[in-house]
Amino acid sequence: MSLGLKDKGIRNNLFSSFRFALSGIVRAVKKERNLKFHLIISSIIIFLGFYYQVSAVNWMMLAIAMGLVITMEMMNTAIERVVDLVTKDFHPLAKEAKDIAAGAVLVAAVVSVVIGLIIFLPKIVDSLF
C-alpha cells in the first residue's frame, strides 16, 4: 500500500519534528554546563544501577528521576532564552521567571537525590559491612 501525498506530508512533518527536537537536545548539551553535569551524574547512577543490580521497579524510578531533572534543566534553559530574547535590561518579572525556573530544577534534583539515596544507600551500607 503506497502513501498518498497527504500521508507523505504528515510523515515528513513528523520526521522534521523529531529532527528539530534532537537538534534542541544536542544544542542544549553542547551549550549548557548544568545539563552536562546532570548527564554525568546520570551516567554515574546508571553505572551504580548495573553494579548493584537494582530491580526493574528501581530502574523505573531512577529513569523517571533522571528524566525529570534533565527535562527541567532543558525547560529552564528555554525559559532563560525566551526571557533574554524579550529583554536584556533588568526587570523584576524577568528575574522572577528565571528564578522560578531554576527553582523547578532544584526541586527535581532534590527529589532525585532522595530517590537515589533510598535505592542506593542500603546497598552501599550492606557492601561496606
Torsion from C-alpha of 101, 68, 39, 104, nearest 10 degrees: 20
Dist. CA 19–CA 52, nearest whole Å: 36
Task: Indicate the pTM of the whole model.
Answer: 0.84
Q: Give the residue numbers of the binding site.
A: 32, 73, 80, 98-99
How sure is the predictor about 1, in pLDDT bands with cuts at 50, 70 and 90? very low
Q: Is 73 one of the annotated active-site residues of the chain?
A: yes
The single residue of 65, 68, 73, 108 carrying the catalytic annotation is: 73
| pLDDT tens string 55-99 | 999 999 999 999 999 999 999 999 999 999 999 899 999 999 999
Q: Give the residue numbers of the binding site for substrate.
A: 73
